[in-house]
Structure 1
């Protein structure tokens, strides 16, 4: 596929771990039909990630952390059907009508680290 033919979701995602391919694809397909607006964001993401045995850790305002994004849901999804989990973000785009998936990068590394520490604390309880 030529880079000019890539979808917005593909452009938003840096090269992902190959072990995430099926889970990411399934999650993106589940999120594709989002129509409920900002009020339904959390519930829609929770249902979609639950369908692939993942978890919604928390949701927060984007506060400029991710471009063209109003809210971020921090998710944990299985890597290629294994028990190993990966942290990714579901981003509610400005306007509240579309959700895109992003993998952590240098601008969101602190959020990813916080999420992983959050999981570590929960596992110790």
Structure 2
């Protein structure tokens, strides 16, 4: 009596490529987002949380204002200056309170917020002249 054994070899799975995503967040934005973790949704919670996060990173809180359509899914925007990961100075970034008032995301200035970035740069210039 002869027994035959056959071996079935599995074909490797062809996995789809990872989803295309935007560029990775710079290190300083990741640090800022981590500093904002645990944000409280009290009335002044957004400004207070952003101030604390900027201070924790040796940065500066500049101002916050209603988003007024400057960014999607956003009710308030705060402008901050935080140290660049390269140590070459401070850069302006934005913290955005989402429409639900429960989450904060951080972004580098983009095309849609370029006017606000210019305003923030001018604001910093005025503050530096006053010192």
Which structure's CA Rg is the greater one? 2
The answer for the alignment partner of 1:69 in structure 2 is: 74
The answer for the alignment partner of 1:35 in structure 2 is: 40
Q: Which string of whole-angstrom CA distances, capped at 9 and with x for unpartnered residues, describes residues 31-59 of structure 1?
A: 12113244310001100111000111000
Q: Which string of whole-angstrom CA distances, capped at 9 and with x for unpartnered residues, describes residues 43-91 of structure 1?
A: 0110011100011100000001100000000011111262511111000
The answer for the alignment partner of 2:120 in structure 1 is: 115
1:50 matched to 2:55: yes
Distance 1:46 1:86 in 2: 16
The one of 9, 19, 22 aligned to 1:3: 19
**Equivalent runs, 1:88-103 vs 2, <5 Å:** 88-103=93-108
The answer for the alignment partner of 1:86 in structure 2 is: 91
Structure 1 alignment gaps of length 5 or more: none
- Report the structure, 1 or 2, having the larger helix content: 1
Distance 2:120 2:19 in 1: 32
Runs of 4 or more above 2 Å deviation: 1-4, 35-39
Distance 2:111 2:81 in 1: 18
So what's the TM-score if we normalise by structure 2? Answer: 0.78
Structure 1, 35-44 or 53-62: larger mean CA deviation: 35-44
Aligned CA RMSD, in angstroms, stands at 2.1
So what's the TM-score if we normalise by structure 1? Answer: 0.81
